[in-house]
Amino acid sequence: MRTSPLLARRPARRTYRVSRVPGAAALVGLALLGGLLAPLSPAEAGSQGTWTTVLGPSAAGTLDASARPSMVRTGDDVLHVVTRVRTQDGRYALVHVALAEDGTPQSTSTITSGWRSLAPDPRLLLDGTRLEVVFSGVRGDGEPDDGRVRLAFSDETGAAWTTSGTPLTRTAPGSARGLSAVPVGDGSLITAFTRGDRSVGYRVGAAADLGRDDRRSDPLDRCCAVAPAVGRLFGTNLAYLAWAGTGTTAASAGVFVQQISPQIDDVRVAPRSSTIVDGTPRSRRFASGTPIVSTGSGVFIAYPVGYPKVTGIAVLDVTRSRATPAIVPTPEGADDADLTVGFGPRLWLAWRSGGTVRVARSDTSTTRFGPAVSLGAPTEGGRPRAHGLQIDAQGTRGQGTVVVATGTRLVHTSVRPALSLGASPTSWSGARRQRVVLRVTDVGEPVTNARVRLAGRTCTTGADGRCTIVVEPRRAGTLTARADSLAYSPGSRTLRVR
């Protein structure tokens, strides 16, 4: 769950039982991380589509192929990223990287280390001015709380971390079943998880009273429930749970949604989240889970549409019981996705098809999306590779930052939303003098002072986003118009002379 520094509240004071001093294995892990967390060279994420290393391998440790980073931006415009790494002794640790506004890595720190296993998907949250990491893992030291979901916290710098000794759940979800969490505004968290069966577990607050069971949502008639996501509508106590079902019946295939606070409502099936194939409901899910984000007016999830190929991504406001999702076409397919909110508010959707990453931004009503911007494919060993996709769009530069894991590295790049360029007419007969009216928009909104070029001539758009160019083509063929404006990726339109 993403929270905006402009909308998040200052948390109430909390009391946690602080964990014991790390044992020998943990101390060894901290020492081995020294090489991995060495100072990084400047790596500004300023050039769109140029992938720059944030965190790379060393003799001490490395990312592994299943790591899924998580990130959040604090009010000082610093982007914080958390990921799992494997240390040289074969154990696991969570590390934190702070990125400046321009994308340059500022500092790194160790959150926790010495774990025999850690879930690949830690969740980084911003609760007021406090950074919190929700994670699960097994240390293997025989402790009764081993395997349960835990919390580590720091101030907004992320320089020093404390791990709570009180688990967030009574149930131990295991190391790779899915995890999500969100602050609820009173200093506590809602934590959601799946365990490889038909149910989704969730809990409000820490599990100080281990005699009280975690709550469960168990509507599926077949296994399994995966990819949980929990979100809260800002300024309210309305909280929603979403997850994916991997079954092959109407009650187990697709994406499912349920309000869980303040009251528990019936489970709903997200529109178009499953496809009937030869009479059987089938569905896809994203590799990193179910993206979820809250704005001032709704709680939105993203999920794949189509089977076996993903032909689009649905973005649905789960606070509206009969909402129709916005569909972003993905003719190239989509293996993974992430969703965030930027100023406006506008939603930013990032997705990956194979190794290529693309991004689209919505209008301020969050019901339509503009054209996709291709960021190319980050590489590992000379081959396209990307997983663990994350996007943030809350920086003061008005652009997005995309972070992905490539196997042994975390890399990032920046992205600007794309312009749309319309033209009238788009085709005409004969190589003759023709007046062409061009209109530049941002998801339907006119863009002023955009520069449009066509056939060697230029014009600048007015308040209505329009300008005119007269062309004199010498022969039949195609002409390409291109629109440019600060803070945007270019838009283009092909015109045809018959």
What pLDDT does 139 receive?
Answer: 87
Over range 268-296, report the average pLDDT.
Answer: 94
Q: Pull the structure tokens for residue 304.
A: 């794949």
Does 422 have pLDDT greater than 50?
yes
| Residue 174 backbone zone (phi > 0: left; psi -120 to 50: alpha; other: beta) | left
* Rg over CA atoms, the chain: 24
Over range 251-270, report the average pLDDT.
Answer: 94
Tell me the fold of 420-497: Immunoglobulin-like (2.60.40)
3-class SS of residue 300: strand
Distance CA 96, CA 108 (A): 5
Average per-residue pLDDT for the chain? 86
Long-range contacts of residues 376-381, Cβ cutoff 8 Å, at least 24 apart: 376/49, 376/51, 378/51, 378/404, 378/406, 378/411, 378/413, 379/51, 379/355, 379/406, 380/406, 380/407, 380/408, 380/409, 381/407
> What type of residue sits at position 459?
C
Over range 67-80, report the average pLDDT.
Answer: 94
* Helix (H) or strand (E) segment spanning residue 25: helix 24-36
DSSP 271: T
Q: Which of the four pLDDT bands, split at 50, 70 and 90, describes residue 387?
A: confident
- For residue range 8-49, list pLDDT tens digits in order: 333 333 332 233 233 333 333 434 444 444 434 444 555 788
What pLDDT does 8 receive?
Answer: 36
Separation of first and last alpha carbons in the chain: 52
Question: Of 330 and 59, which is predicted with more confidence?
Answer: 330
Q: Pull the structure tokens for residue 200.
A: 């989704």
Does 260 have pLDDT greater than 70?
yes
- For residue range 322-334, list pLDDT tens digits in order: 899 999 999 999 9
Over range 410-427, report the average pLDDT.
Answer: 95
What pLDDT does 465 receive?
Answer: 98
Phi and psi for 307 in degrees, rounded to 5? -160, 140
Does 213 have pLDDT greater than 50?
yes
Does 275 have pLDDT greater than 50?
yes
- For residue range 146-203, list pLDDT tens digits in order: 788 999 999 999 999 999 888 888 887 754 458 999 998 777 899 999 877 888 999 8
What pLDDT does 400 receive?
Answer: 94
Over range 299-309, report the average pLDDT.
Answer: 97
CB atoms within 10 A of CB 194: 23
What pLDDT does 29 receive?
Answer: 41
Over range 210-217, report the average pLDDT.
Answer: 72
The length of the chain is 498
DSSP 418: B
Does 247 have pLDDT greater than 90?
yes
Looking up tokens 């118009």, which residue turns up?
Answer: 481
| Residue 6 backbone zone (phi > 0: left; psi -120 to 50: alpha; other: beta) | alpha
Does 442 have pLDDT greater than 90?
yes
Q: Which of the four pLDDT bands, split at 50, 70 and 90, describes residue 64?
A: confident
DSSP states along 221-248: SSS-EEEEEEEE-TTS--EEEEEEEESS
Q: Which residues contact 265 (CB under 8 A, 6 or more apart)?
A: 258, 259
User: What residue ranges do the domains of the chain occupy?
Assistant: 295-318+328-418, 420-497
- Under a CB-based contact definition with an 8 Å cutoff, are residues 172 and 185 in contact? no
- Under a CB-based contact definition with an 8 Å cutoff, are residues 414 and 103 in contact? yes
Give which of 398, 397, 352, 346 is closest to 375, Cα–Cα. 352
> What type of residue sits at position 467?
C
What pLDDT does 43 receive?
Answer: 45
Over range 403-415, report the average pLDDT.
Answer: 92
- Under a CB-based contact definition with an 8 Å cutoff, are residues 346 and 363 in contact? yes
Does 95 have pLDDT greater than 60?
yes
- Under a CB-based contact definition with an 8 Å cutoff, are residues 131 and 153 in contact? yes
How much of the chain, in percent, has pLDDT values that exceed 90? 63
